[in-house]
Amino acid sequence: MGKMWEGRFSKALDQTADDFNSSISFDSKMFRQDIKGSMAHAAMLGAKEIISVEDANTIIGALQGILEDIEKGTLKIDMTCEDIHMFVEAELTNRIGDVGKRLHTARSRNDQVALDIRMYLRDETNKVIELLKDTVQAIIEQAQENKDAILPGYTHLQRAQPITFGHHLMAYAMMLLRDISRLKDALKRMNFSPLGSCALAGTTYNTDRNFTAQKLGFDGITANSIDGVSDRDFCIELASAFSLIMMHLSRFSEEIILWSSWEFKFIELDDSFTTGSSIMPQKKNSDMAELVRGKTGRVYGDLMALLTMLKGLPLAYNKDMQEDKEAIFDSVETVQKCLEVFAPMVRTFTVCRDNMYKAAQKGFINATDLADYMVKKGLPFRTAYKTVGQIVAYCIENNKVLDTMSLEEYKKYSDLFEEDLYNEISLETCVSKRISEGGTSVESVEKQIKIALESLKND
């Protein structure tokens, strides 16, 4: 297809160069935003009498037709066009002749593309927020159901203190809730319209940038036209928020993979979210969680690509910036795909409470509580800590655990030990006594669930 800009040139663009230059294979995704942006622009041109109202209406009507035809599938996007902006304009002129050629008055592809990406990312990020909410909801459901299931809590992947499964799960709910607020925050900063910045310097026409901004759902206009067409900081901010989401999902995935293993068997993934092996009949693999963990690297890569692409660019627009789209599109789509599979995977796993409990029983997970028992009887914590350390060493040597030591044995270490110590160090007591805010007791977890539900409602 002939180029819009061919007037200045005496030779056609080399085919390889043309292919290299083209972005329509990936920016055609923005056809809706491009057309809606153009409709608002045409309405503004009419309202400000830069073109006649009649021409504006003809353009708007034709653009509406193009949008509907693409959505219906009766109009195929011509992949030989340089980009989606060129395609829509060419199709418009195709349909209404010279009137269509008036649309690009007081506009450049530079402000057009800066507008389209913002609108596209606004739509897609809102989808991510909905998916995150659903994932938090799924976590809350599991936490509610398993708020009293006891398992070992780990530090250094060593059994540390007994916790409830609800408590552990709600940690992820809090992380994802922060991710939601991070996205909303980024959206707020992004939601200013660059349309009307034109190529970089603004325009001599008497345009009304607030008119289009308002029509397109922006909170205002970018205050500097060079900034409006030059920066893609909003892409980077979102890519960084997406990277954090992936980091959270990846840590959760790692635990789901561990918990599903025979060594742990704390949870059983639903058959509909696991796969088998082609050779080992016994296998049930946690592929979904592994893929989420694997795709995290990809999203980090997109963030790096964007940061690096922009770092050396002089103002204003440079063609390098066309590279923003594949990176940010990949990142938002990957996050969406991961969340789409993650929420139902979490919602449908079953919890093996007995295995969790057994894992918490072995070892010295209640050692802190034994020290606390002595502290409550008057001993300074450091002294109690040392005594319990000696008791643990004795147990290891004699193949015992704290619960199986006799009172006589305990008495050798301190007169403070009485029969009531056994109740104090039972797993149930260890958990139910941790009533501090944010702690692991059922009561505390219920509060955390309430906070999370409240936050979901207000968002």
Tell me the catalytic residues.
156, 277
Contact criterion met (CB below 8 Å) for 87 and 28: yes
Considering the complex, what minimum distance in angstroms separates the CB of residue 123 from ligand ARG?
18
What's the token pair of residue 418? 């009485």
Residue that is written with structure tokens 């305990």 in the block = 410
Q: Which of 149, 170, 169 is nearest to 359 (CA)?
A: 149
Determine, following the binding rule CB under 6 A, whether residue 110 of this chain makes contact with ligand ARG. yes
11-19, 109-117, 131-139, 280-288 -> range binding ligand ARG (CB under 6 A):
109-117
Q: Contacting ligand ARG (CB under 6 A), which of 29, 95, 107, 109?
A: 109
Contact criterion met (CB below 8 Å) for 129 and 339: no
User: 31-47 and 84-96 are packed helices; what angle lies between their axes, rounded to 10 degrees?
Assistant: 60
Site for ligand ARG in 63-92 (CB under 6 A): 83
41-49, 213-221, 315-323, 432-440 -> range binding ligand ARG (CB under 6 A):
315-323
Q: Which of 69, 66, 94 is nearest to 2 (CA)?
A: 94
Using H for helix, E for strand and C for coil, what is the string for 1-67? CCCCCHHHCCCCCCHHHHHHHCCHHHHHHHHHHHHHHHHHHHHHHHHCCCCCHHHHHHHHHHHHHHH
Contact criterion met (CB below 8 Å) for 56 and 42: yes
73-81, 105-113, 136-144, 441-449 -> range binding ligand ARG (CB under 6 A):
105-113
CA angle 139, 328, 198 (to 5 degrees): 135
Residue that is written with structure tokens 């025979």 in the block = 262
164: alpha, beta or left? (left if phi > 0; alpha if psi -120 to 50): beta
Cα separation, 332 vs 10, in Å, equals 41
Determine, following the binding rule CB under 6 A, whether residue 250 of this chain makes contact with ligand ARG. no
Considering the complex, what minimum distance in angstroms separates the CB of residue 59 from ligand ARG?
20
Considering the complex, what minimum distance in angstroms separates the CB of residue 92 from ligand ARG?
17
**454 contacts: CB under 8 Å, gap ≥ 6:** none
Site for ligand ARG in 154-213 (CB under 6 A): none
**406 contacts: CB under 8 Å, gap ≥ 6:** none
Q: Contacting ligand ARG (CB under 6 A), which of 113, 186, 244, 360?
A: 113
Site for ligand ARG in 251-270 (CB under 6 A): none
Compare residues 160 and 200 and give the one whose CB is closer to ligand ARG: 200
Determine, following the binding rule CB under 6 A, whether residue 366 of this chain makes contact with ligand ARG. no
Q: Contacting ligand ARG (CB under 6 A), which of 31, 165, 172, 317?
A: 317
265-273, 275-283, 317-325, 368-376 -> range binding ligand ARG (CB under 6 A):
317-325
Binding mask 267-306 for ligand ARG (x = CB under 6 A): ----------------------------------------
Compare residues 319 and 457 and give the one whose CB is closer to ligand ARG: 319
Compare residues 95 and 232 and give the one whose CB is closer to ligand ARG: 232
Contact criterion met (CB below 8 Å) for 162 and 363: no
Cα separation, 72 vs 305, in Å, equals 35
Cα separation, 256 vs 104, in Å, equals 53
What's the token pair of residue 171? 């940690």
Considering the complex, what minimum distance in angstroms separates the CB of residue 148 from ligand ARG?
54
Q: Contacting ligand ARG (CB under 6 A), which of 322, 336, 348, 414?
A: 322
Determine, following the binding rule CB under 6 A, whether residue 27 of this chain makes contact with ligand ARG. yes
174-182, 316-324, 343-351, 405-413 -> range binding ligand ARG (CB under 6 A):
316-324
Determine, following the binding rule CB under 6 A, whether residue 230 of this chain makes contact with ligand ARG. no
Q: Which residues bind ligand ARG (CB under 6 A)?
A: 23, 27, 83, 109-110, 113, 317, 319, 321-322
